A and B are shown apart, each in its own frame.
Chain A
Amino acid sequence: MDMASTTGITRRSLLKRSLMTAAGLSVAAPIHQPVPGYAAGAPAVKGGTLRVAIDSEPLGPDPARPFSRVDRYVDLTIYDTLFTFDEKLRIQPSLVARWETPSATEYLWHLQPGVRFHDGTPFDASAVKFNIDRIQDPKNNSPSRSLLSTVAGVDVVNPTTVHVKLTQPNAGLLSVFADIPGLMASPAAMAKSGSDYLNHPIGTGPFVFGEWVRDEHLSVKRSPSYWRRDPQGAALPYLDGVMFRAIPDMQAKLTALLTRQVDVIDSMPVTAVATVKQQAQYVQAPPLGYVFFFMKVDQPPFNDARVRQALCWAIDRPAIVQTILRGTATVAQGPLPPASWAYDPRFTAYTPRDVGKARQLLNAAGASTLNFSFLYPSEEPFTSVAQVLKSNWAEAGVTANLQQQDFSTLLQNMYAGKFAALMIDYSGRIDPDVSVGSFFATGGLNNAGKYSNPQVDRLLAQARSTSVTTERAFLYREVQRIVMHDAPIGLIYYTALSNGIAKSVRGYQLMADGTIRLTNVWLQR
């Protein structure tokens, strides 16, 4: 493992090293697997309803409310985001057609002209201000508010221009507006529907809300006046509509796909991948999230970095990936996953496994008979992974007392800091400012283990204040090297969402953040 020894980075050295990083970035290009038929440019056929089976009932299509993974599926049919991102997770225009940065703490957003909400009202600068203000208003208790903490205010310059002021530079901010906080809802519809808005959501997206029968289905139908066109100038979307249906049981969901009751399933058991590949189409997103465990860095025994490093050295991560996940995941080396533009394919940490080194570190730390509680979710694959970890650690003389908890209890303990070590998964975010910053900055939103390193804080702040991607990539790679040495978390494997889709589905895109883009999807008859 290449350990960081920098104490601070000057502008000059940063430029020099970022040039070297730029060369590496091309190697780091993420894998994107378009579905057959889409890449070949087959002519799209209009019509048909896509039936999508999802894990659970959505929380509801309101951008300011809490959301789950399945909400992203639904929301992106009804709404557009201000920005979007491409396969390499680079920010691209969406409702914001182009943007300027007059200073490090200012943005000027120029909006797509002529876009209207499904209720006929215009999408303009005041609608953008309304939506951002709504998330920031403490009275609304929006969980997305924390992500907008650097937004000082939004001003309407003219109907198609928005001026955004920041409290401090934040190069990752635009990525936040490519996710749920960037969904634009109709202010007029909100005023009209009030507390019943969840049953009458109005956006500018490719589909218009149809109906939501709780625990049965949520349907959307084609917007007749969607503002985007396909490359040939034809109207989008191609589908007549989409029907989302929650099927919680994974086996039942798989059967529904194989018997053509649904066209898309959003998850499947790892044992079913071969069947899906054979009888349908298997799509996997580039890996963005990871399964890992927090260690409580501010308390014994994990306040000693050697103890944390020992646990990391003792884990047989390739075995977990091969035996439990049947090769559907990849071993995690650092918090910058393969889908990220900052990913460094040459970086490795705690590879190969070294139980002897783990024992040495434990002996040096005076923790040769380490014994601790290990919390993890009471569901697969966590339960199997926990068993392997326990036996891996036992080989180094460590006793992990396994404690399964349901997700709600586990999360409560995580937020309250009531654990010694706790395993969980993180879906990842498209910009490292959120996905790396929130875990390793002192007081970061996801820093449950209370890790604090002033050097990491400085590098993260520096990465926030520059908008040059190569510079940022270099800085995040530095952070990666330091935190993997300090080991406040133990990374196990990168997760990549996978979907099963019927053979007739064309143009399907599963993005790294787990969202599906249905604007270009069509059904082959």
Chain B
Amino acid sequence: MLRYVAARLAAMVLVMLLVSACVFVLMRVLPGDPVVAMVGMMDVSASTLAGMRHSLGLDRPLPVQFVVWLGNVAHGNLGVSIRSREPVTGVLLSHVPVTLELAALSLAVAVMVAIPFAMLAVRHHGRWLDRMLTAGSLVGVSFPGFVLALGLIYLMSLRLRWLPPTGYVSPVDDLADNLKLMIMPTLTLGLTSAGLLTRLLRGQLLEEISHGYVRTARAKGATERAIMVSHVLRNALVPFTTVLGNEAGVLLSGAVITETIFALPGVGRLAVENVLNRDLPVIQGVVLWSALLYLSINLAVDLIYGVLDPRVRYG
């Protein structure tokens, strides 16, 4: 198992290197200039623009820029933001906690909705409750997140005046305010994911229930509750975990639209703003972070398989 993990970690480094190189080249091949994006249309001469590009090293050959950047990364230095002049590591570290909190809360909502709803649907399979839950989860999957977000703002903020519509307060500063501000973004993301997870888990549970071991357990006198929780659910959780891992990856790399609508200073908003502004060092930092997360979650999911299903062997 240790050898397996070591091999996977080595492969991760290689993948991240490739991802970085691809993004580095792509961002420079695509049209758009970080200096021009920064100054806008403000009476600037061509020589001043050239001077600004030179001072940022943007006039050096592409391979040189990449090697310099890579050398800095190897020393733990992700560079400095072109716009804010802040170190990219610091910029990332200030945005990651927001996204982590949002992702964790959203996943919790998704799981807490998906598992009971799926089990309820299976228990009432073919009846009206099952049909309602199935239809409800389909709506969850198909409903665009931004519509849900705007609907929630309209209802909770404008109509009922229960929740503030936008903003972020660190939980360290004020936990109550933080949670109040996180309710709507969390519901937006959590309910959308819950739809997908409910449908998937319902299907898996129905498949597992038809297997012979369920009949055997029933014959041995196990209660329906014990069969569902200890046998059926556990087996159905293997594909569920794969999708959950994928959802976690998506959420942790930043929920772009949700973070923008609710003005949350997370990684998603950071990525979008800096792509539009062509702030290359920050984009590189965000991409590295996302790649690292995806690969780590994939590895974690693979290791969880072994816990959920003892037949899985690593080699």
B157: nearest residue on chain A (CB-CB)?
A: A259
| Min CB–CB distance B169 → chain A (angstroms) | 8
| Min CB–CB distance A71 → chain B (angstroms) | 11
One of A60, A405, A408 near B36 (C-beta < 8 A): A408
Q: Given A60-B84, A255-B157, are A412 and B166 neighbors across the interface (CB < 8 Å)? A: no
B90: nearest residue on chain A (CB-CB)?
A: A214
Most buried by A among B86, B167, B168, B273: B167
A residues 148-190 in Cβ contact with B at 8 Å: 149
Q: Report B-chain residues with C-beta under 8 Å of the C-beta of A195.
A: 85
Most buried by B among A414, A415, A424: A415
B270: nearest residue on chain A (CB-CB)?
A: A215
**B260 sits at the interface (CB 8 A):** yes
Task: Check if A141 sits within 8 Å of B48, measured CB to CB.
Answer: yes
A135-150 CB mask vs B (1 if < 8 Å, else 0) is: 0001001110111010
Task: Check if B276 sits within 8 Å of A216, measured CB to CB.
Answer: no
Q: Given A146-B45, A248-B263, are A409 and B168 neighbors across the interface (CB < 8 Å)? A: no
B127-145 CB mask vs A (1 if < 8 Å, else 0) is: 0000000000000000000
B residues 93-107 in Cβ contact with A at 8 Å: 94-95
A261 to B260, CA, bound (A): 17
B residues 30-57 in Cβ contact with A at 8 Å: 30-34, 36-46, 48-49, 51-52, 55
Task: Check if B84 sits within 8 Å of A143, measured CB to CB.
Answer: no
| Min CB–CB distance B165 → chain A (angstroms) | 4
| Min CB–CB distance B256 → chain A (angstroms) | 11
B residues 49-97 in Cβ contact with A at 8 Å: 49, 51-52, 55, 83-86, 91, 94-95
A251 to B51, CA, bound (A): 39
B252-281 CB mask vs A (1 if < 8 Å, else 0) is: 000000001111010001100100111000
Q: Given A215-B270, A248-B263, are A424 and B168 neighbors across the interface (CB < 8 Å)? A: no
Q: Given A259-B164, A408-B36, A412-B31, are A252 and B261 neighbors across the interface (CB < 8 Å)? A: yes
Task: Check if B260 sits within 8 Å of A249, measured CB to CB.
Answer: yes
Q: Report A-chain residues with C-beta under 8 Å of the C-beta of B153.
A: 251-252, 255
Q: Given A60-B85, A143-B48, are A434 and B263 neighbors across the interface (CB < 8 Å)? A: no
One of A198, A261, A413, A445 near B167 (C-beta < 8 A): A261
**A68 sits at the interface (CB 8 A):** yes
Task: Check if B42 sits within 8 Å of A261, measured CB to CB.
Answer: no
Q: Report A-chain residues with C-beta under 8 Å of the C-beta of B168.
A: 216
A412 to B46, CA, bound (A): 11
A57 to B37, CA, bound (A): 14
A252: nearest residue on chain B (CB-CB)?
A: B166
A145 to B47, CA, bound (A): 10
B273-298 CB mask vs A (1 if < 8 Å, else 0) is: 10011100000000000000000000
Task: Check if B37 sits within 8 Å of A408, measured CB to CB.
Answer: yes
Task: Check if B51 sits within 8 Å of A198, measured CB to CB.
Answer: no
**B158 sits at the interface (CB 8 A):** yes
Interface residues on B, range: 35 or more
**B209 sits at the interface (CB 8 A):** no
Task: Check if B41 sits within 8 Å of A248, measured CB to CB.
Answer: no
Task: Check if B45 sits within 8 Å of A445, measured CB to CB.
Answer: yes
**B161 sits at the interface (CB 8 A):** yes
Q: Report B-chain residues with C-beta under 8 Å of the C-beta of A149.
A: 45
| Min CB–CB distance A400 → chain B (angstroms) | 21
| Min CB–CB distance A369 → chain B (angstroms) | 29
Q: Report B-chain residues with C-beta under 8 Å of the C-beta of A142.
A: 48
Task: Check if A258 sits within 8 Å of B158, measured CB to CB.
Answer: yes
Task: Check if A146 sits within 8 Å of B158, measured CB to CB.
Answer: no
Task: Check if B37 sits within 8 Å of A143, measured CB to CB.
Answer: no
Task: Check if A411 sits within 8 Å of B43, measured CB to CB.
Answer: no
**B206 sits at the interface (CB 8 A):** no
Q: Report B-chain residues with C-beta under 8 Å of the C-beta of A324.
A: none
Count the A-B residue pairs with Cβ separation under 8 angstroms: how many?
Answer: 137
**B179 sits at the interface (CB 8 A):** no
One of A56, A258, A407 near B273 (C-beta < 8 A): A56
**A446 sits at the interface (CB 8 A):** yes
A401-424 CB mask vs B (1 if < 8 Å, else 0) is: 000011111011111000000001
A409 to B38, CA, bound (A): 12
Task: Check if A409 sits within 8 Å of B31, measured CB to CB.
Answer: yes
Q: Given A146-B45, A214-B265, are A411 and B37 neighbors across the interface (CB < 8 Å)? A: yes
Q: Given A214-B91, A408-B276, A445-B44, are A259 and B161 neighbors across the interface (CB < 8 Å)? A: yes
A370 to B48, CA, bound (A): 37
| Min CB–CB distance B90 → chain A (angstroms) | 9
**A472 sits at the interface (CB 8 A):** no
**A246 sits at the interface (CB 8 A):** yes
**A59 sits at the interface (CB 8 A):** yes
One of B42, B91, B157 near A143 (C-beta < 8 A): B42
Task: Check if A261 sits within 8 Å of B166, measured CB to CB.
Answer: yes
A227-264 CB mask vs B (1 if < 8 Å, else 0) is: 00000000000000000011111011101101101000
Task: Check if B32 sits within 8 Å of A215, measured CB to CB.
Answer: no
**A426 sits at the interface (CB 8 A):** yes
Q: Given A215-B95, A216-B168, A259-B158, are A407 and B84 neighbors across the interface (CB < 8 Å)? A: no
**B214 sits at the interface (CB 8 A):** no
A46 to B273, CA, bound (A): 37
**B150 sits at the interface (CB 8 A):** yes
Q: Report B-chain residues with C-beta under 8 Å of the C-beta of A434.
A: 43
Q: Report B-chain residues with C-beta under 8 Å of the C-beta of A120.
A: none
Q: Given A251-B150, A445-B45, A446-B41, are A411 and B36 neighbors across the interface (CB < 8 Å)? A: yes
Q: Given A215-B265, A249-B263, are A145 and B164 neighbors across the interface (CB < 8 Å)? A: no
A149 to B46, CA, bound (A): 13
Task: Check if B55 sits within 8 Å of A408, measured CB to CB.
Answer: no
| Min CB–CB distance A520 → chain B (angstroms) | 27
Q: Report B-chain residues with C-beta under 8 Å of the C-beta of A413.
A: 31
| Min CB–CB distance B34 → chain A (angstroms) | 8
Q: List 19 A-B contacts (CB under 8 A).
A: A59-B38, A141-B48, A142-B48, A143-B42, A248-B260, A252-B165, A256-B165, A259-B158, A261-B164, A406-B32, A406-B276, A408-B32, A408-B276, A411-B37, A412-B32, A426-B41, A438-B43, A445-B45, A446-B43
- Given A248-B263, A252-B166, A414-B41; 11 other pairs, CB 8 A cutoff: A143-B44, A143-B48, A214-B86, A247-B166, A249-B261, A408-B31, A411-B40, A413-B31, A426-B41, A445-B43, A445-B45
Nearest first, the 4 A-B pairs at minimum CB distance are A215-B265, A408-B32, A408-B37, A146-B45
